[in-house]
Structure 1
């Protein structure tokens, strides 16, 4: 009877279903496991030729497929960076080293003794190696090949800071000393490394230019004689002007000798003026320097010439009026007649009988009015002893010639004009110190570094030397506007500063210092940002993975290095993959060949480090299915029992 065979197929199908469900339940905690389900098909036997009744009893059931469900399981995080999970579609590609390739969603990896990333079954995780430029190489075994990070010398420093513009430069000591904080405005230190990985520091000192001018006297030069090693051998003077043996030095303040020294194009940019002190032999002359060069280094190379530094002078411009008061005081100590004088547009009435001291007091009484009417003026003083009227201008105003006026001939009750003043004697001003800082750099706080200071005019050779450079700030907005003589606008790229000699292990190393965003605001002097790209030697401390598959080695010196990129495989028909055990699959003709790309590209899922994909088995659903399969088995058993009863009944007829 066909009923027995039909029941047997039912028992076999139910038994297979029980096996599949039991396997799902057994692997409910297996990392990367994918649940399966049993799919059935009915069996009908029909005649090949001829057609009978369409009412044909079936011949049972058959298992048509055990299909796998590749739905992603829950991702759970771990404390191991080598645990990997794919968040999305794709498989890890594994190689057994013998040419066998399999695919898995189980990301429990570890390092073997040679640094290769392997699965728990010892198969090699596949990925892209990287060349020195970071370009991907052909797929191969991923390996942690770098066990240490070599040292790197500092080559770039990014430093930005604010220097408090409210600091008073006049309070700084006249002579700069790197070890005397009172001689500079602000200081900051940056850590650096040499080519062997030794740590050093570069200390930067910033000294604001004071509103004073250096002045030096040169003596021992014989006027009217030819230039020679014995008559003039001050290097920065003789060489800079282009004078040669046979040229004659004129004993005159207006000579071409002095004109060339102060020439804007070919002269010494540090020199503001040169004046002759004496027209007799030997000639002496005075050199005055701009305020931004407070310590000019001049050296006489001939024993016949001497250079002495005169005490610094204030950078203010002054106008001194020598007054003719012979008529006014009539040979006695009191003013002969009433008179009206005008100073800078402000009038003061002087009355007969005033002494010179009383006249001075009257002028002092209107000083505030004169200052209000003339913002560039700092003070107005009448010196009764010398009978001179002195106007001092703000140092920030620089040169203000012709400046304030003095008029002793204003109409008054007097019958004759009194107190005439000769043309004023003018000492030129200097505002080059405004917003100017001398910047020094020291290796380990002691050795003065070369940061681009040009050789002083007249020095032999070309290039730069250790010493300070100038930083210039816009006094109206506090923004950096010039470095080492190179000016730029607020929107322009700030030129970098090249530091030489900061690597004791390699003298060829230079450091590019970028001080973009440095300011001079009226707020506390602070470092706003400071970074440098050097580091010491480091040892491997761990490996991690990025979302797009980068395998990154971390070292004890704080550096990270990309060692490779994990490869992710996808298939046109992943349902066609054949299970191979150890939660792995192999490709078949049905699945098609693997399509390999980095994570996060195309339809590939991204990578999660320190995470594992759990089994996608729904245990509750499997237990319900188990009950259903059990009943199916029992029902088919009942079919056999019924068929047996029927057979017994027939035999008893």
Structure 2
């Protein structure tokens, strides 16, 4: 029996040595889990009893258990190396056989699949063409094709316009002078763009002078009215007439007050003009003009004397030789200018003023010019992309306008848009109007409370100014809605200025985000803590390619090792619980890292000594049993 007991001890010690040696051999194997031997004693027993004083029959190896404790995590220079910090196993496809491993040394094969050194493919949740992760599990693959370009369909700009800026542009309606006779008896109301109310102009009296009519109109906010009285002498007054008259006389009455004019020695129209200018009344001036009384190009012009009263009082002019003929009465004219705050005029009685307003277009003083920095307050540029991935420069210009209404509680800016040097969104004809409230917050742009401008007239062009073949404007611009639905089929895009403010601080761009990009080549890979694999491209974009899946088991000790630092599922382990990293009980992923072996080399060396002594001691048992047996045999 002693021989069998010692032999069982040799066998057990040999297994212990083998397991310890295997641990030591794999001390540097990534993802390796150390093992330990579990021993059990042996006793002979009968059917009913083992006796009152049983003697053991030795030892046997009951099991070899692996320790799945966490190994140290060390960093590497490979972007696809991954370590699991916590519970879980990588899922590997070995030609259809599913294996599980903690070794995360991965690379890419010729087909772009993520594989380990044994060409087992890592499995995870695949992503669609737009980088959206799905719940479908499969072999993870890195697409090495160029990233297709994406056209810009949305541009969000957040900036601050300096409220302290001065007004650079003034948009006005400047009427041709209206004879005061056409205004007498009329009344009308001035309508304002901001809806602040109407200003009623009272009925202009039938006896009103040009000055009185101008004063009545000038009282309206946003309206400037001035009066003048131009008097042009008829064909009877010429140089020859003045020089040949025996007793030439000339008189001017301003309103009801005579203006003394000394015509002694005057022999020409120019001399008469000088005499009027020397009269001492600065509101009256005279000069000689070339005059065409019938506006017929075939008829030559003649010299005429023009007298102007700058305050618009009626002028009565008379001249003669001996006794003055009845004077000619000149009633005067009214010139009107309105700024952009005046949107309309509604008639009360009469329509002459209303007709003049409607017939007069806006004109601009200090008109906006994108190449003249003096004509705009602020500008900012950003890149946008057409359907072919070509980059274009879009510039937004901001011009401060006069405050609408009375200027209390509201501010106004004009917005011009330019792409590659050409004004778009119709701003070559009319800018967009941005209104801000008393707190500096954007109220609307052209009445849109969302602060959006939809650009529907952009034609992408090459550096020579010719269309470059990319998608152009939509066939029906009025059908374009925000946001632009995918897939887009035109060059239309939405500019969102909803976050724009107008504070008393320096102009600054807080953020500009647009969703387009040019084509790009794969330049690198990144892995997140959740195991999401991101591809980085040369165009600055990144896109999800997939997410590593992890598996956990209710009984990890039940897994069966099959070599290559992998395990397979068994009945004892139970079925795998599969999920994304860092969810549930699954651990997180550490990128550019590997999990080292959890072998404690110092402890294994001590175990090696113990196993060696155990082996020697069991060998000594056999040796002693042999000596005893030899003694018995030698008995005679």
Q: Which TM-score applies when normalising by structure 2?
A: 0.62
1:495 is the counterpart of 2:470:
no
1:531 is the counterpart of 2:513:
yes
Cα RMSD (Å): 4.0
Distance, in Å, in 1 between the alignment partners of 2:194 and 2:511 is 38
CA-CA distance at 1:40 after TM superposition: 0.5
- In the alignment, is the contact (CA less than 8 A) between 2:90 and 2:122 conserved in 1? yes
Distance, in Å, in 1 between the alignment partners of 2:39 and 2:362 is 110
Cα deviations by residue, 1:526-546 (Å, 9 ceiling, x for unpaired): 222222222111111122222
5 Å-filtered alignment, 1:393-542, equals 431=407, 435-444=411-420, 446-450=421-425, 466-474=429-437, 476-486=438-448, 494-502=450-458, 504=460, 505-506=470-471, 507=473, 508-542=490-524
Q: Relative to 1, partners in 2 of residues 1:281 and 1:114: Cα closer, same or farther, differing over 3 Å?
A: farther
1:288 is the counterpart of 2:337:
yes
User: What secondary structure, in the 3-state scheme, does the structure 2 residue paired with 1:538 have?
Assistant: coil
Aligned counterpart, 1:557: 539
Q: Which TM-score applies when normalising by structure 1?
A: 0.60
CA-CA distance at 1:597 after TM superposition: 1.3
Q: Relative to 1, partners in 2 of residues 1:35 and 1:283: Cα closer, same or farther, differing over 3 Å?
A: farther
Distance, in Å, in 2 between the alignment partners of 1:531 and 1:433 is 30
1:9 is the counterpart of 2:8:
yes
Distance, in Å, in 1 between the alignment partners of 2:404 and 2:36 is 94
Aligned counterpart, 2:70: 72
CA-CA distance at 1:104 after TM superposition: 0.6
1:123 is the counterpart of 2:85:
no
Cα deviations by residue, 1:48-104 (Å, 9 ceiling, x for unpaired): 24x46321111110000011001110011111111011111111111122x211111
- In the alignment, is the contact (CA less than 8 A) between 2:116 and 2:122 conserved in 1? yes
Select 1:95's aligned residue among 84, 93, 100. 93
> What are structure 1's unaligned runs of at least 5 residues?
173-208, 224-249, 295-304, 314-394, 400-429, 454-464, 489-493
5 Å-filtered alignment, 1:87-236, equals 87-97=85-95, 99-132=96-129, 134-145=132-143, 147-169=145-167, 172=168, 209=169, 214-218=172-176
- In the alignment, is the contact (CA less than 8 A) between 1:252 and 1:276 conserved in 2? no
Aligned counterpart, 2:247: none
Aligned counterpart, 1:61: 59
Q: Relative to 1, partners in 2 of residues 1:218 and 1:70: Cα closer, same or farther, differing over 3 Å?
A: same
Q: Relative to 1, partners in 2 of residues 1:281 and 1:587: Cα closer, same or farther, differing over 3 Å?
A: farther
5 Å-filtered alignment, 1:271-286, equals 286=335
Q: Relative to 1, partners in 2 of residues 1:138 and 1:481: Cα closer, same or farther, differing over 3 Å?
A: closer
- In the alignment, is the contact (CA less than 8 A) between 1:40 and 1:62 conserved in 2? yes
User: What secondary structure, in the 3-state scheme, does the structure 2 residue paired with 1:59 have?
Assistant: strand
Q: Relative to 1, partners in 2 of residues 1:311 and 1:441: Cα closer, same or farther, differing over 3 Å?
A: closer
Distance, in Å, in 2 between the alignment partners of 1:310 and 1:34 is 84
Distance, in Å, in 1 between the alignment partners of 2:592 and 2:341 is 60
Distance, in Å, in 2 between the alignment partners of 1:282 and 1:131 is 82
Cα deviations by residue, 1:494-548 (Å, 9 ceiling, x for unpaired): 5222233345132232332222343333332222222222211111112222211
Q: Relative to 1, partners in 2 of residues 1:19 and 1:306: Cα closer, same or farther, differing over 3 Å?
A: closer
The number of aligned residues is 442
- In the alignment, is the contact (CA less than 8 A) between 2:531 and 2:548 conserved in 1? yes
Distance, in Å, in 1 between the alignment partners of 2:172 and 2:604 is 96
